[in-house]
Amino acid sequence: MTDPATTPPSLQVAGLAYAYPDGHQALFGVDLTVARGERVALLGPNGAGKTTLVLHLNGILTAGAGTVTVAGLPVAKARLAEIRRRVGIVFQDPDDQLFMPTVREDVAFGPAAAGLRGPELEERVRRALERVGMAEFADRPPHHLSFGQRRRVAVATVLAMEPEILVLDEPSSNLDPASRRELADILRSLEVTVLMVTHDLPYALELCPRSVVLSGGVIAADGGTQELLCDEELMREHRLELPFGFDPRSVTVPVR
């Protein structure tokens, strides 16, 4: 059994600052720690720096200042292959991730590129598809699936790499209510650290006990999701708005 006291956090960001080549400063010193197994929502208005932060987690962007560490491993050029295995990003549009003739081949692509072959690869694919409830669709072309099914397959492509952190970019967007609920059930069942970037505040409340508000390139708030969503002044200041009629105080939030 792993001892939480001696296990490094899944993610540790310290003093992260970044300016784009055109001079636009997107991050001004972000500090964030996410413990192993936590589900954390990353909230904030458009232009807050959320995408910029996420792109640092697997080395797509290189910090101008500060550090990013994944499971005790600093994000650096020499370690990018391992970092990108540990940090799995599920894009907002699943069609950005699915490009092979069949679901099975899409899910196998990452592990095969990492050198996995034979029965071990087949077992990795089978497990990933079972975890998202898509095993029976393994031989289907992805473009024959519904949008919600394609999103679940996109999650499976990342799970097949056995990541430390699952990063989800607007996971509930364009889903019908049933698909939204099915994805929520899947995410709750996963024994993996989750960082969920979302404007869907009820979904954040449903799935993530903790939320972080990024605004103007800094962490403006970090706490229990229900507590933050009930802070009307905080919400107004950072352009976060709940759907009409939704009261976070009325929701019984599950512990996990």
What's the chain's average pLDDT? 93
What pLDDT, on the 0 to 100 scale, is given for residue 251?
A: 84
What pLDDT, on the 0 to 100 scale, is given for residue 4?
A: 53
- The full set of domain ranges for the chain reads 11-241
What pLDDT, on the 0 to 100 scale, is given for residue 184?
A: 95
What pLDDT, on the 0 to 100 scale, is given for residue 5?
A: 57
What is the per-residue pLDDT across 20-79, written as a single tens digit (0 to 9) for each? 999 999 999 999 999 999 999 999 998 899 999 999 999 999 999 999 999 999 998 889
What pLDDT, on the 0 to 100 scale, is given for residue 1?
A: 43
Q: Rounded to whole angstroms, how far apart are CA atoms 231 and 245?
A: 16
Q: Rounded to whole angstroms, how far apart are CA atoms 175 and 147?
A: 7
What pLDDT, on the 0 to 100 scale, is given for residue 147?
A: 95
Nearest Cα residue to 126 out of 154, 98, 107, 111: 107
Beginning with the edge strand found earlier in the chain, give each strand of the sheet holding 87-90 in spatial order.
Answer: 87-90, 165-169, 193-197, 39-43, 210-215, 218-224
Q: Rounded to whole angstroms, how far apart are CA atoms 190 and 152?
A: 13
* Mean pLDDT value of segment 91-100: 93
What pLDDT, on the 0 to 100 scale, is given for residue 250?
A: 86
Burial class of residue 66, CB neighbours in 10 A (0-12, 13-18, 19+): middle
- Going by pLDDT thresholds of 50, 70 and 90, the confidence category of residue 254 is low
What is the per-residue pLDDT across 55-68, written as a single tens digit (0 to 9) for each? 999 999 999 999 99
What pLDDT, on the 0 to 100 scale, is given for residue 3?
A: 55
Q: Which residue has the higher pLDDT, 5 or 69?
A: 69
What pLDDT, on the 0 to 100 scale, is given for residue 120?
A: 95
Q: Rounded to whole angstroms, how far apart are CA atoms 128 and 106?
A: 11
Query: How many Cβ atoms from other residues are within 10 Å of residue 72's Cβ?
Result: 11
* Mean pLDDT value of segment 84-97: 92
- Please determine, for residue 256, whether its predicted confidence score (pLDDT) is greater than 70: no
pTM, two decimals, is 0.92
What pLDDT, on the 0 to 100 scale, is given for residue 161?
A: 95
What is the per-residue pLDDT across 98-115, written as a single tens digit (0 to 9) for each? 999 999 999 999 999 989
- Please determine, for residue 232, whether its predicted confidence score (pLDDT) is greater than 90: yes
Element (H, E) at 29: strand 25-34
* Mean pLDDT value of segment 2-19: 85
For the domain made up of 11-241, the CATH class stated in words is alpha beta
| Cβ-Cβ contacts under 8 Å for 24 (sequence gap 6 or more) | none
pLDDT above 90 as % of the chain: 89
Q: Rounded to whole angstroms, how far apart are CA atoms 76 and 70?
A: 11
What pLDDT, on the 0 to 100 scale, is given for residue 253?
A: 72
